Amino acid sequence: MLANYFPRNIVVGIAMVLAGWGALWLTPHVSASAVAVDLEKMIPRQFGDWQVVSEPLAQMSLAPGDGGNDLLNPYDQTLMRTYRNNAGDTIMLAIAYGKEQRQEKKMHRPELCYYGQGFRVEQTLQEPINIEGRSIPLTRLIAHNPSRVEPVSYWIRIGDRVTTSAMDTRLQILWQGLRGRVVDGALVRVSGVMNGSEAMKDQFAAQDGFIKSLAIASGDATRNLLLGDAGSLQ
């Protein structure tokens, strides 16, 4: 009888240890961000021929709807500025940073933010842009309401990758969680308000020039914050 008792206890004990180890391994507990983030200091106010203007255009919120009562706000810091260059192009820059991205607490995609604030979103597509040797899949969209038409380019970085869809974001968070990591994330949104005579392609060209100039003017820490790990992007 004792011969049967001890092996069974040993098996149960081993199973309990393995279950506990597995639960610990599957629980995200290591932050992937090792950089102290201060968006106000990290993002230059003047670069190339772009500089911040004193009277910025009214920007759309980075959260769907009001966002003020969101108990699971994924943003630890946000930054909104308006820049103008010597040619008179005006660009609105919005950046959101969250140090912990989880399935229930992650970056809001701008489509939802514009919908939630009464805009209609059309012509959503993806276009790659080469930034400092990194191919970044930009998402383009056109948001409009009765008072304005706003071409928008944006990307979302989760951990060391730029994700291309809501599902891609979820899978990246899941994959990092399975590796025991709670990763940070950043949303970078660049937009403008079209005038009646301006072509859409000119707005997007100005946005691309702005994005590239910002990357060139930024240090390595800021580029990695905005774009992710150069070796991990496709």
DSSP notation for 151-171: EEEEEEEETTEEE-SHHHHHH
Q: What is the mean pLDDT of the chain?
A: 81
Query: Going by C-beta distance under 8 Å and a sequence separation of 6 or more, which residues neighbour residue 148?
Result: 193, 194
Look at the block and give the residue holding tokens 């842009």: 129
Q: Residue 66: is its pLDDT beyond 90?
A: no
For residues 59 and 94, give the distance between their C-alpha atoms in angstroms, rounded to a whole number. 8
For residues 185 and 194, give the distance between their C-alpha atoms in angstroms, rounded to a whole number. 29
- The torsion angles phi and psi of 30, rounded to 5 degrees, stand at -115, 125
Would you tell me how many other CB atoms lie within 10 Å of the CB of residue 120?
Answer: 11
The predicted structure's pLDDT at residue 52? 96
Q: What tokens does 143 get? A: 């948001």
Q: Is 51 helix (H, G, I), strand (E, B) or coil?
A: strand
Question: Average of pLDDT values for 100-122?
Answer: 86
Q: What tokens does 21 get? A: 């180890």
Cβ atoms of residues 96 and 30 within 8 Å: no
- Percent residues over pLDDT 90 in the chain: 41
The predicted structure's pLDDT at residue 233? 38
Cβ atoms of residues 41 and 35 within 8 Å: no
Q: What tokens does 186 get? A: 């950043």
Identify the bridge partners of residue 115 per DSSP, sorted by sequence position: none
Query: Minimum mean pLDDT among 1-5, 33-37, 59-63, 133-137: which range?
Result: 1-5
Question: Average of pLDDT values for 92-106?
Answer: 86
Q: Residue 31: is its pLDDT beyond 70?
A: no
